[in-house]
A = this chain, B = another copy of it.
């Protein structure tokens, strides 16, 4: 497997585009994105578990009942959530796009991200769809820009892998930034592949992947109402279709995991106001659930996040977060270390502090990517969670988001 360029357009038969249609006031920011498959594709998705669900998710869920789709349209600047006419507007977006693309409205996946509770005006979207369709091309970045809110960078990646001796591609774009604490589903992530795979196997692969990837990311502990990860597989690579478990599904899942882990890291590292990516790697857990619970608790701790912003090796906060995580662990066996490209420093052994150089620790923690290494010394299970530091800018961005 190797990383390649092209994002969601790396896979054969996929085109994309992004435009500014007028939902966002700032004309330099794209606010409408489209991904299109030249042929019918199998499709799978996972959604937020928030009881408050964005109207686009409800419409998409209905459209994906048959396991196929051809297009994904997504606007930023307005979440189309908690609005009396939300469903109606989401369906209208699908109809307008279907009319222009000459496909069935049932084959459109619709998503929205932005402010909750403000009616979404259909007019700029209706006006934006024709130029958006006209711009369709191998332009993944433009679509990645169209779904950004407070993200500072577009997020995209693609890989090439082999199934049944045939080279296939899988790529994706994502938006993250704030209200990021997915649960069973997640943020907005759009994936495409030209690998032939049945809808059932596709959903199995996606659902199996998110538990250890997007569900292990947290920026601020707030689970969005509009989280969605969706994947389209159009079979354009020409491989024998994956219809059951086995080596081919394993290859596919490995490619999928490479793409999703990359996007997790990008989403966490570009969390609202973040200056650092935090990776908590837990090993030595008695089972995977314990490892995941511990890793996520550390990543979610406001105190740990603030300490990392200040490059302060305050490992007591890591131990504290493990202690209240709800996982049954023996705290007298826990080892903690911090690691970055500048080195590694052990700070806690068997649940108690060990002497270390504060200056050396500071140098390690001043880097942009920090690993918090936890060994529970109680078994063989492991897990990784991704987060970011808590900064002045997070407060600034969210203190006055709407105005």
Residues of A within 8 A of B (CB): 49-53, 79, 81-84, 115-119, 178-179, 181, 183, 220-225, 300-303, 306-307, 309-310, 312, 314-317, 319-324, 328-329, 331, 348, 351-353, 390-392, 394-403
Cβ–Cβ contact A117 & B398, under 8 A: no
- A395 to B220, alpha carbons, bound, how many Å? 13
Chain B residue with Cβ nearest A314? B402
Within the complex, the shortest CB–CB distance from A325 to chain B, in Å, comes to: 8
Residues of B within 8 A of A316 (CB): 79, 81-82, 115-117, 225
Select A395's contact among B82, B118, B395, beta carbons within 8 Å: B395
Number of copies: 2
Cβ–Cβ contact B394 & A306, under 8 A: yes
Give me the 6 closest cross-chain CB pairs, A-B, nearest first: A116-B316, A310-B399, A52-B323, A306-B398, A223-B324, A117-B353
Given contacts A51-B331, A319-B82, contact A400 B324 (CB under 8 A): no
Cβ–Cβ contact A392 & B403, under 8 A: no
Cβ–Cβ contact B221 & A178, under 8 A: no
Cβ–Cβ contact B116 & A303, under 8 A: no
Given contacts A81-B316, A399-B309, contact A221 B392 (CB under 8 A): no
- A315 to B348, alpha carbons, bound, how many Å? 42
Residues of B within 8 A of A50 (CB): 320, 323-324
